[in-house]
Structure 1
Amino acid sequence: MFGWNVPAPDEAMLVSGGKNSGETPFRVVTGHGAFVLPFFRKVRFLTLSMVEAEVEERCVTGQGITLNVRAVIAFKVGNDAESIVNAGQRFLSDQGQMSVLTGRIFAGHLRSIIGSMTVEEIVTQRQRLATEVLDGSKEEMAKIGLAVDALQIQSIDDGDLGYITAMSAPHTAAIQRQAQIAHSQARQAAAEAEQDSQRKQAEYGRQTAIVQAQYKAEVDRAQAAANQAGPLAQAQAQREVLAARTELAQREAELRQQQLVAEVVKPAEAEAERVRLLARAEAERMRIQAEAAASHNRVALDRMLIDQLPQIVHEAAAGLQGANVNILNGADGISELAASLVGQGLTIFESLRKNISDPTAKGGSATESEPATPAGNGTRQIGSGLPS
């Protein structure tokens, strides 16, 4: 807008050409805009940014030794209205003069301060030098509206005099001695470390050899045990196989014996028992009939003889008791044996009947008959048991 002016953030706007109610010769505007009547007022801008000035000065110390000192000063126009007015009145038309004037002011104070100090103090107490220079120049800088932000002493040297070098020689020698001592100590420590490492390696090698020997001994023992365990295990296995085979043979023999008992012995015993029971029953019946035959006629006698036939057979079978009889064909063999006994009984019966019918036919007795001998190894007499 025409007549409206705004200063930059790092600038101060100076308005002149009118009456000012304050004590300043012109109006100072910072941070905001202002309306300025054209043609009747004049607007100028003063920088408030930081400015740098370099100082390189030859200074003489209190010992008369010339030193070349180089320093850098950082400064700016103060933020208050008074500093802006003082700086504007001095530098507004040529603001580059602020760096030149500041360098001169600090050069003078730098020569003054260094002249009251020794080289040792200057070299070892640079911060003290910078502080004294700042304090000495603060009042003058404030009068011209400038404020110093920082002062940095960059370098100090004595040219070719060698004073600073000589001054540092004792320290350098001490540092070198310390360095040599440290180096020697480091070499000694390194040698000790090397010896210790060698000892540890030797000990490690010895321990390794012991462990390897122990391991080899364990392996050898285990291998020997394994070598012995093979034949022992094989022999044990063979013994177990033989024992198993023996047990199997015993079980097969027992099974065969049980089979023989079931197939041969038990049937024979059952048949013999059956024959004995029948014989006893028939003997009892024949005894009763024999008693009846004594009082009956011939028909009764023949009948009694006929009834006595089972007893005769029984007696013939009794002759086999205790005999060593081998039956090879099972139940058929037993049937054949029983048929033979019955046949012998019939023969004996026929003989008895004839003798009873004709007692004098063969010179025999009516009360006795010749004993019959059944087949087999054992002998047994069979009587008729009949009355004469």
Structure 2
Amino acid sequence: MFGYRVPAPDQAMLISGGRIKNAPFRVVTGHGKFVLPFFRKVRYLTLAMCEAEVAETCVTRQGIALTVRAVIAFKVGNDDDSVVNAGQRFLSDQDQMSILTGRIFAGHLRSIIGSMTVEEIVTERQKLATEVLDTSKSEMAKIGLTVDSLQIQSIDDGKTGYIDAMSAPHKAAIQRQAQIAQAQARQASAEAEQESARKQAEFTRQTAVVQAEYNAQVEQAQAKAAQAGPLAQAHAQQEVLQAQTELAQRAAELRQQQLQAEVIKPAEADAERIRVLATAEADRMRIQAEAAASNDRVALDRMLIEQLPQIVEKAADGLRGANVNVLNGTDGLSEIAAGLVGQGLTILDSVRKNLKPESSSGSGKADKAPEDSYRSLPAGENKA
């Protein structure tokens, strides 16, 4: 619209003309304003951030000249009084704000650095900046400016070398620490290399030991495999020899049993039979002697008959002690019993025959009586 003006966000619109109480112009920020043409005049003042650089040679309390470089960030204050103060001073030439600000801060830097030592300035830069800001704040406010920050960029002593000399012990300490650190690093590296070499040697040794053990096991297994065939054959031959030995022992035992049954036992039986016959012969001679003494044929026959069972029993006892093997069961037992009875009868007949000549020398009556008595025995006793 014709006559309506709106300032930019970073500008303050100054309207002059007309009657304004306590101010040479009206300040408008953040909104528009209707301006009567020909009767009002509009000018704009920047509210943006401005920058001023300072490079000033200052002398310290020690008399050492230092060149200090600093950067100041400032702007016009946001309140109307600050805008009015700045507009009255810099509206026609706003670039003068940076120049004037740099000069103001240069003066304050010289003043403050003159009361400090080089060590304090170098080591306490923030303290220097804070003191400069505090001393310049009221002065900057009078011209409508506010300082946002002050940064000390560099401090140079020129060719005096004071700062370098001041830093020499620290440099030496730092270099010494660096050398120590490098030596420690080299030592650690050498120890690491030695440890790595030791581990490699240990690994090589362990590998060689394991390989040797493996080779020994392989050789042992191969040797066992090579010996397995001969060992198995020898073991088989040993088993065959052992079996043959056992077979020979069994054959010898069988042969011994056979000899025992075929030779020794029959020989023992014959010996027992001879002994029994000899005993019977002795009994016969004894009986004959007794009969001759008594001259009694009947008594002799009765005595023979009574002694017959005992003779047979003795023969049986002799055979029992001989441990004769019976090979044909019940028939063999019957044959043995019949043989015993037959032996008894044979002994009896032999005794009778031997007694006849002696008894015939007596009377015929005496001979007949015993014979008749013998014949008068029951049939069962005669068979016995």
TM range (shorter): 0.5 to 0.7
Q: What is aligned with 2:178?
A: 179
SS at match of 1:49: coil
What per-residue deviation string (whole Å, max 9, x for no partner) do you get for residues 144-187 of structure 1?
Answer: 01011111111101110111111111111111122222222222
Partners of 2:230 and 2:88 lie apart in 1 by 122
SS at match of 1:76: strand
Cα deviation, residue 214, structure 1: 2.6
| Residue-pair matches, total | 232
Paired amino acid for 1:139: S
Partners of 1:109 and 1:224 lie apart in 2 by 103
Cα deviation, residue 131, structure 1: 0.6
Q: What is aligned with 2:68?
A: 69
Which moves more between the two structures, 165-174 or 91-100?
165-174
Cα deviation, residue 219, structure 1: 4.0
Q: What is aligned with 2:82?
A: 83
Partners of 1:89 and 1:45 lie apart in 2 by 12
Q: What is aligned with 2:207?
A: 208
Change over 3 Å in CA distance of 1:202–1:25 after alignment to 2: same
Q: What is aligned with 1:133?
A: 132
Partners of 2:51 and 2:22 lie apart in 1 by 31
Superposed CA RMSD in Å reads 2.1
Change over 3 Å in CA distance of 1:213–1:88 after alignment to 2: same
Change over 3 Å in CA distance of 1:204–1:15 after alignment to 2: same
Q: What is aligned with 1:15?
A: 15
Partners of 1:84 and 1:11 lie apart in 2 by 10
Partners of 1:144 and 1:160 lie apart in 2 by 38
Paired amino acid for 2:78: N
What per-residue deviation string (whole Å, max 9, x for no partner) do you get for residues 240-279 of structure 1?
Answer: xxxxxxxxxxxxxxxxxxxxxxxxxxxxxxxxxxxxxxxx
TM-score, normalisation: structure 1: 0.57
Give 1:100-249 correspondences, 5 Å limit: 100-221=99-220
Paired amino acid for 1:35: F
Partners of 1:195 and 1:31 lie apart in 2 by 76
What per-residue deviation string (whole Å, max 9, x for no partner) do you get for residues 285-344 of structure 1?
Answer: xxxxxxxxxxxxxxxxxxxxxxxxxxxxxxxxxxxxxxxxxxxxxxxxxxxxxxxxxxxx
Structure 1 or 2: more helix by fraction: 2
Partners of 1:218 and 1:11 lie apart in 2 by 97
Q: What is aligned with 2:2?
A: 2
Cα deviation, residue 220, structure 1: 4.1
SS at match of 1:32: coil
1:96 aligns with 2:127: no
Q: What is aligned with 2:33?
A: 34
Give 1:285-324 correspondences, 5 Å limit: none
Cα deviation, residue 24, structure 1: 2.4
Partners of 2:57 and 2:207 lie apart in 1 by 75
Paired amino acid for 1:174: A
Q: What is aligned with 1:322?
A: none
Cα deviation, residue 17, structure 1: 0.2
Partners of 1:70 and 1:28 lie apart in 2 by 36
What are the ranges of 5 or more consecutive residues in structure 2 without an aligned counterpart? 233-384
Partners of 1:175 and 1:102 lie apart in 2 by 40
Partners of 1:227 and 1:43 lie apart in 2 by 121
Paired amino acid for 2:136: S
Partners of 1:134 and 1:222 lie apart in 2 by 95
Change over 3 Å in CA distance of 1:36–1:226 after alignment to 2: farther
Partners of 1:220 and 1:12 lie apart in 2 by 104
Partners of 1:35 and 1:204 lie apart in 2 by 94
Partners of 2:225 and 2:79 lie apart in 1 by 104
Paired amino acid for 1:110: L
Q: What is aligned with 2:42?
A: 43
SS at match of 2:14: strand
Cα deviation, residue 18, structure 1: 1.3
Q: What is aligned with 1:279?
A: none
Change over 3 Å in CA distance of 1:46–1:231 after alignment to 2: farther
SS at match of 1:149: strand
Partners of 2:219 and 2:80 lie apart in 1 by 103
Change over 3 Å in CA distance of 1:142–1:214 after alignment to 2: same
Change over 3 Å in CA distance of 1:101–1:221 after alignment to 2: same
Partners of 2:5 and 2:217 lie apart in 1 by 103
Paired amino acid for 2:60: T
Paired amino acid for 2:15: V
